[in-house]
Amino acid sequence: MNWNPRFAQRTALMRRSTIRELLKLAAQPGIISFAAGLPPAEFFPVEEFRAATEAVLRSRPERALQYGETGGEAELRDWIAERASQPDRPMRRENVLITTGSQQALDLVGRVFLDPGDVVLVENPTYLAALTAWRPCGVEFAPLAMDEGGLLIGELDRADAPPAKLLYSVPNFQNPTGVTLQAGRRRQLVAWSRATGIPLVEDNPYGELRYEGEALPHLLDLDREGPGIGEEAGQVIHLGTFSKTLAPGLRVGWVVAPRPVIDKLTLAKQSMDLHTSTLCQHVALELARDGVLERHLPRLRAVCGGRRDVMLRALKEHMPSGVTWNRPEGGMFLFLRLPESINATTLLTAALTHGVAFVPGEDFHATGGGHNTLRLNFTGNSDERIGEGIRRLAATLAEAV
């Protein structure tokens, strides 16, 4: 049977990335991989998970194992709403939807907002799986240039900028660059969104992983300083997740947004998976409400921040001249720029033979470019492996140069 004519047209837009195919090789033993965005597995709070699961099954098994509401378990939504609230501007349960990771929230945003031909403004480069989630909707991406302070606000008002449906941003320790959007630009972005009526999708998986400097206000917070409060007001669709703070295997994320947005996203989710695992939601709630998360975060920040420093030192020691990189204040990634003459995808093939892997930057660029850039994850390997992996990368580069 030839299945191809049977598939829906939109599946033609679901592309397997050549880089992902290449990176399957990175899973081989002996390879030090800086490719995937993995949290440090040795520091998962395993005992705390065990205790929380036991507590849930002891205290409320009939809820944790039953079907639940599509919107999510009420207490977890309340906990998230409370954390998103400001003293005079409360958020309510009705402003929160629990999702199966924030990746599902991205998919839901696509289903609810995006028609074929719509333009989505994205940082350049941006999170690859947002592009792959929205491409099948038949949208066009309009990439916005960035510098070390995040997206350039001047780009928004370019005369040739097409009218957009949404703007997508990862303001904190962006994936893939590690760059943080400056405070002033956050205010300008929210003001622009109000003036144009173009909503902002704020994706914030890394915000809690800050290793230095002051926390900056979320776009969601700035939006709520403006006129009009209540469940309906606002321009920002804010995505959060426990993936980077507790464990990605939990698959619990959330959306905080004006109520009409939450209502539509909930309808879309209903036919997708009915609801996010009730058991996982209750375990997450137990860990969050019990203070485990608050106690775990400083330890996690110390480990991840330490690994960032190890990678920065190793880069300084081993990289040949002509290679530059940034110093992210948090998160999991830093971004390397190679000499123009080097193609990072070609380099990856050579790097794999040297026993090291990374993600070439090209795929994160919505409309091409970035051939001489690459992303390194600094949280998923021990200090020793980071040092050895960077030595191998430098040796690969020395050959290529």
Ligand X SMILES: Cc1ncc(COP(=O)(O)O)c(C=O)c1O
Q: Which is nearer to ligand X, 307 or 392 (CB)?
A: 307
170 binds ligand X, rule: CB under 6 A: yes
Report how many residues bind ligand X under the rule CB under 6 A: 13
Question: What is the C-alpha to C-alpha distance for residues 177 and 124, in angstroms, rounded to an integer?
Answer: 10
> In 3-state terms, what secondary structure has residue 29?
coil
> In 3-state terms, what secondary structure has residue 203?
strand
Q: Which two tokens stand for residue 133?
A: 């989630």
Contacts (CB under 6 A) with ligand X, residues 20-39: 37
Q: Which stretch binds ligand X (CB under 6 A): 63-71, 96-104, 157-165, 352-360?
A: 96-104
User: b/e for 357-391, b at 16 or more Cβ within 10 A?
Assistant: bbbbbbbbbbeeebbbbbbbbbbbbeeebbbbbbb
For residue 37, the minimal CB distance to ligand X (Å) is 4
Question: What is the C-alpha to C-alpha distance for residues 38 and 34, in angstroms, rounded to an integer?
Answer: 9
Nearest residue to ligand X, scored by beta-carbon proximity: 101
For residue 348, the minimal CB distance to ligand X (Å) is 19
Residue of 175, 193, 372, 373 interacting with ligand X (CB under 6 A): 175
- Asked if residue 37 lies in contact with residue 377, where contact means CB atoms within 8 angstroms, the answer is yes
102 binds ligand X, rule: CB under 6 A: yes
For residue 31, the minimal CB distance to ligand X (Å) is 20
101 binds ligand X, rule: CB under 6 A: yes
Residue of 203, 208, 223, 286 interacting with ligand X (CB under 6 A): 203
281 binds ligand X, rule: CB under 6 A: no
For residue 171, the 8-state DSSP code is -
Q: Which is nearer to ligand X, 170 or 181 (CB)?
A: 170
Q: Which is nearer to ligand X, 105 or 393 (CB)?
A: 105
> In 3-state terms, what secondary structure has residue 202?
strand
Binding mask 216-245 for ligand X (x = CB under 6 A): -------------------------x-x--
Rounded to 10°, the helix 292-318/46-59 angle is 160
Question: What is the C-alpha to C-alpha distance for residues 187 and 217, in angstroms, rounded to an integer?
Answer: 9
CA-based Rg of the chain, rounded to a whole angstrom? 21
72 binds ligand X, rule: CB under 6 A: no
Name the amino acid, one letter, at 316.
K
Residues within the interface to ligand X (CB under 6 A): 37, 101-103, 127, 170, 175, 203, 205, 241, 243, 248, 253
